[in-house]
């Protein structure tokens, strides 16, 4: 993916939804500007803010490494110093893969616990 977090990009508005606007960055890539990232303050209706076909400058806020979705911001364009701020890569971030592979569950621990469960059930019945 040619984009990096913190990068200033020019794109074209391709769609407007109640929750944000979609920005086409290139032929294959499209990102979302959430309604909270349009401008400072409260934005109730995006139709007055943007029109489909508008050229806008946005900053890449986040890139989801699993899905490739890009979060963009219009609000940060005037705030964030781009050239003097180095992009820091944090390799110590722990990644969560939505599995429980780190837990020691499986058939063997259940088989070891089963006799104790049976004895406990027998005591409760009698």
Query: pLDDT by residue (tens digit) across 67-92?
Result: 888 999 888 886 644 444 455 555 55
The reply to whether 97 falls in a domain is no
The reply to whether 122 falls in a domain is no
What's the CA gap between 78 and 87, in Å, rounded? 18
Q: Which residues contact 122 (CB under 8 A, 6 or more apart)?
A: none
Q: What is the pLDDT of residue 102?
A: 57
Neighbours of 57 (CB within 10 A): 13
CATH number for position 68: 2.40.50.140
The reply to whether 82 falls in a domain is no
The reply to whether 84 falls in a domain is no
What's the CA gap between 33 and 38, in Å, rounded? 7
Question: The whole model's pTM is what?
Answer: 0.59
Q: Which domain holds residue 49?
A: 8-73
- How many domains does one find in the chain? 1
Report whether pLDDT(122) > 90: yes
Which residues sit opposite 21 in a β-bridge?
Answer: 16, 33
Report whether pLDDT(27) > 60: yes
The reply to whether 109 falls in a domain is no
Q: What is the pLDDT of residue 121?
A: 93
CB of 66 closer than 8 Å to CB of 106: no
């Amino acid at each position: 993916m040619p984009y990096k977090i913190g990068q200033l990009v020019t794109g074209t508005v391709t769609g407007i939804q109640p929750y944000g606007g979609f920005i086409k960055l290139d032929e294959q890539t499209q990102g979302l500007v959430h309604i909270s990232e349009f401008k400072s303050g409260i934005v109730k209706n995006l139709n007055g803010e943007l029109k489909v076909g508008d050229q806008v400058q946005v900053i890449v806020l986040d890139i989801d490494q699993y899905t490739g979705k890009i979060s963009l911001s219009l609000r940060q364009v005037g705030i964030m110093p781009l050239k003097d701020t180095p992009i820091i890569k944090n390799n110590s971030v722990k990644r969560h893969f939505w599995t429980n592979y780190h837990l020691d569950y499986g058939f063997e621990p259940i088989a070891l616990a089963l006799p104790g469960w049976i004895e406990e059930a027998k005591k409760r019945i009698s």
